[in-house]
């Protein structure tokens, strides 16, 4: 997968992208992340990327030309066939990071992880010229209902969530399948040695070696944790009749009957 990121602050990406899973995925050529400084696509002496808003008002607006030129310079480099208008089924998505975008979630990460090529544009200042939205970007994504100083941190969040889904990026592919949200549920609790720490014991079932019992316990814990913390997620989750009964019983008991760890 190739990911091009357009930003005014390329150095921000150095730390996060040179560590851990993203670093390993890059080293294994599972992903090629290319950072572009939008300022490099200006042609004036002072490399101006922003200007006052037409109609007045506070703040500056990112000019369209450097952003269009950056995206258009990337497309031929990667043999891209789509129009600069963002059309064409095979075209790489051109995603603007903005608090006005659709809310990022695991489903969107999975959708993006299927792409061979992706272009992320990090907005800054008060916003970007609307023609970038209208004629260049194919999608707008927000990572949450709060305002960041720019799209860079949002781009890092998206890249991290997507790269860990690429086959071979994690130590074991099974770990991504069990993640919170991958199943539509929050993840079950984890324990490691020692079996008793400060008097707090690991749930007995996990030491039993009985894989079927362990799988059942984990699934129940995931459901109970989701019920307590994010009940809305259960509406979308695929649950068996038995699991639905577990939820009803737990609700009827005022949540007091949840077993072992899920008792916060």
Mode of pairing for the β-strands spanning 117-122 and 94-103: parallel
Which residues are annotated as catalytic? 99, 126, 164, 179
The Cα 49–Cα 11 span in angstroms is 17
Partners of 197 in the beta sheet? 200
Distance of CA 207 to the CA centre of its chain: 34
Give 60: exposed, middle or buried? Use CB within 10 Å, 0-12, 13-18, 19+: middle
Residues engaged in binding ligand ADE (CB under 6 A): 97-99, 123, 142-144, 146-148, 150-151, 154
Comparison of 66 and 150: residue with beta carbon closer to ligand ADE: 150
How many alpha carbons lie under 13 Å from residue 15 in its C-beta half-sphere? 4
Alpha helix ranges (H) inside 20-62: 20-27
Residue pair 98/140 in contact (Cβ under 8 Å)? The answer is yes
Mode of pairing for the β-strands spanning 32-37 and 94-103: unpaired
Angle at CA of residue 257, ends 251 and 258, nearest 5°: 90
Whole-number Cα distances in Å, 69 to 43, 64, 166, 209: 11, 9, 29, 59
């Amino acid at each position: 997968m190739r990911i091009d990121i357009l930003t005014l602050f390329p150095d921000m990406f150095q730390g996060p992208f040179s560590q851990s899973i993203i670093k390993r995925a890059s080293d294994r050529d599972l992903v090629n992340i290319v950072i572009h400084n939008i300022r490099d696509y200006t042609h004036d002496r002072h490399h101006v990327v922003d200007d006052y808003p037409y109609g007045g008002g506070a703040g500056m607006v990112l000019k369209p030309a450097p952003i269009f030129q950056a995206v258009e310079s990337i497309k031929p480099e990667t043999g891209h066939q789509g129009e600069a208008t963002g059309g064409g089924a095979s075209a790489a998505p051109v995603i603007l990071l903005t608090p006005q975008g659709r809310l990022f979630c695991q489903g969107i990460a999975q959708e993006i992880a299927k792409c061979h090529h992706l272009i992320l544009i990090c907005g800054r200042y008060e916003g970007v010229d609307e023609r970038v939205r209208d004629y260049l970007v194919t999608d707008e994504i927000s990572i949450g209902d709060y305002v960041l100083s720019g799209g860079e941190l949002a781009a890092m969040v998206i890249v991290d969530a997507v790269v860990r889904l690429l086959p071979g990026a994690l130590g074991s592919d099974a770990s991504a399948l069990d993640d919170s949200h991958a199943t539509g549920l929050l993840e079950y609790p984890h324990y490691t040695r020692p079996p008793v720490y400060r008097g707090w014991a690991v749930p007995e079932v996990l030491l039993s070696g009985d894989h079927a019992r362990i799988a059942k316990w984990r699934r129940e814990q995931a459901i109970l944790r989701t019920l307590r913390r994010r009940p809305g997620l259960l509406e979308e989750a695929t649950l068996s009749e038995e699991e639905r009964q577990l939820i009803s019983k737990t609700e009827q008991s005022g949540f007091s009957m949840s077993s072992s760890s899920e008792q916060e």
